[in-house]
């Protein structure tokens, strides 16, 4: 490289060494236990992993939505535009939720008001953020809803959530989330409840809106197939940890962690009809009985004695930014990993 100086990437969000624990009556549940991820400005980061790996707790930690649960950020930083937001007051966190970070969930009905017309709900979002007239807000709401590709927008503005299909409700949620031009959109399994055709349409829509609005997206899913459609970078989570991280090409063409490979083998592909998909044998361990060593070792076909005893740190893989928490990768780029004793 000419000059040789390293250009710092512009991360809109950085989660550093995040530990989020639930202090329940029968013990501490370490739902997120040392997560580091970076969301580059204008890009989409996928967080993927089976149910129970700590994806939603990570997003709730970013949103500041742990109140009302027994959960607490025990350690770590969440940097928004370089500024830590963990220690901010509830009021300041609420403002960030309104202005800078929006979230859409799997089930839009939990966030839509069942007794309020769609149009009024979007207008309310607009008016919370902008000092414009009600008429202008209505026009803005209608324009945003049109962008999401729903038919008969004029009519839908006057309808109630129960009158809409699941896919339409998810589009309304996206309109509500994006109408305030957030810097970051967190989407937690936004298409999981939808059938495949509608799912594909919603992913197209998110890709298109990302281009038009420049919003950075944190996309959470249990489905690596969905990740391929929408993400630039991927963090694979297991048992509250990131086990592999890299750009989408590295993860799909050179997956190095046996867990990632297991997830990839369980994606349905065209031509697979009739074939049985491989799912990863065994279950995610109960957080109260976490295995020693690598948390995936009890399910891993390659696990050795060392894996069961000692948890690996991250090893660098040959591709830029690709790292993996597996002892098998210890010598993958020997010169870099030599003497690191399981950590980068
Ligand atoms: N409110 C809660 N109280 C106690 N434990 C919780 C709570 N929410 C989540 N957990 C635990 O945290 C872990 C991670 O959960 P979650 O982030 O929802 O997983 P994912 O979204 O990846 O499916 C699970 O073991 C879950 O049981
Ligand atoms: Mg979840």
User: Using one digit for the tens of pLDDT, what is the confidence trace for 87-99?
Assistant: 999 999 999 987 8
Query: What is the chain's mean pLDDT, rounded?
Result: 89
CB of 189 shorter than 6 A to ligand 1: no
Residues 36 and 68 both lie in one domain = yes
- CATH number, domain of 254, equals 3.40.50.300
Place 339 in a pLDDT band, splitting at 50, 70 and 90: very low
Please report, for residues 209, 236, 245, 246, the alpha-carbon distance to residue 242 in angstroms, rounded to integers and kept in the order given: 28, 6, 7, 11
Residue 148, token pair as written in the block? 């999401």
Residues 188 and 282 both lie in one domain = yes
272 is in which domain, residue-wise? Answer: 11-100+182-337
Please report, for residues 59, 134, 296, the alpha-carbon distance to residue 281 in angstroms, rounded to integers and kept in the order given: 27, 56, 11
Q: Is residue 342 part of a domain?
A: no
Count of other CB atoms within 10 angstroms of residue 166: 15
Q: Is residue 273 part of a domain?
A: yes
Rounded to the nearest whole angstrom, what is the distance from the C-alpha of residue 238 to the centroid of ligand 1?
12
Instruction: Please name the residue whose Cα sits nearest to atom 10 of ligand 1.
Output: 31
Kindly report, residue by residue over 176-200, the tens digit of the pLDDT: 988 888 999 999 998 888 888 888 8
Cα(2)–Cα(195) distance, integer angstroms? 49
Where on the phi/psi map is residue 339: left (φ > 0), alpha (ψ -120 to 50), or beta? left
Kindly report, residue by residue over 304-313, the tens digit of the pLDDT: 999 999 999 9
Radius of gyration of the chain (CA): 21
CB of 20 shorter than 6 A to ligand 1: no
Q: Give the position, in ligand 1's atom list, of the atom nearest the Cα of 49.
A: 22
Residues 244 and 320 both lie in one domain = yes
Cα(132)–Cα(189) distance, integer angstroms? 33
Question: What's the confidence (pLDDT) of residue 337?
Answer: 57
CB of 201 shorter than 6 A to ligand 1: no
Under DSSP, the state recorded for 111 is T
Place 270 in a pLDDT band, splitting at 50, 70 and 90: low
Domain stops at, among 161, 181, 201: 181
Residues 214 and 73 both lie in one domain = yes
Domain stops at, among 181, 207, 223: 181
Please report, for residues 1, 130, 226, 247, the alpha-carbon distance to residue 5 in angstroms, rounded to integers and kept in the order given: 8, 42, 35, 22
């Amino acid at each position: 490289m000419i000059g040789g100086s390293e250009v710092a990437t512009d991360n809109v969000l950085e989660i550093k060494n995040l530990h989020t624990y639930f202090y329940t009556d029968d013990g501490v549940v370490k739902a997120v236990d040392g997560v580091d991820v970076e969301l580059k400005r204008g890009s989409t980061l996928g967080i993927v992993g089976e149910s129970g790996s700590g994806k939603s707790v990570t997003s709730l930690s970013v949103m500041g939505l742990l109140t009302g649960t027994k959960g607490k950020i025990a350690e770590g930083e969440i940097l928004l535009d370089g500024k830590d937001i963990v220690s901010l007051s509830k009021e300041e966190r609420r403002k960030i939720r309104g202005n800078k970070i929006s979230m859409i969930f799997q089930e839009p009905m939990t966030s839509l008001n069942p007794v309020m017309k769609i149009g009024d709900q979007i207008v309310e979002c607009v008016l919370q953020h902008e000092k414009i007239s009600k008429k202008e807000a209505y026009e803005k709401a209608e324009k945003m809803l049109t962008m999401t590709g729903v038919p008969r927008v004029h009519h839908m503005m006057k309808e109630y959530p129960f009158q809409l299909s699941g896919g339409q409700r998810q589009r309304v949620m996206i309109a509500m989330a994006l109408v305030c031009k957030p810097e970051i959109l967190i989407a937690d399994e936004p298409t999981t409840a939808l059938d495949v055709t509608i799912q594909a349409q919603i992913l197209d829509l998110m890709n298109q809106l990302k281009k038009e609005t420049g919003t950075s997206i944190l996309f959470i899913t249990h489905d690596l197939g969905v990740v391929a459609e929408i993400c630039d970078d991927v963090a694979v989570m297991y048992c509250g940890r990131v086990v592999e991280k890299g750009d989408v090409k590295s993860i799909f063409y050179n997956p190095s962690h046996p867990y990632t490979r297991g997830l990839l083998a369980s994606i349905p592909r065209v031509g697979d009809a009739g074939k049985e998909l491989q799912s990863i044998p065994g279950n995610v361990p109960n957080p109260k009985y976490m295995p020693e060593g690598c948390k995936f070792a009890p399910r891993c076909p390659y696990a050795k004695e060392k894996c069961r005893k000692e948890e690996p740190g991250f090893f660098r893989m040959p591709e830029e930014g690709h790292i993996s928490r597996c002892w098998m990768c210890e010598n993958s780029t020997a010169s870099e990993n030599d003497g690191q004793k399981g950590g980068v």
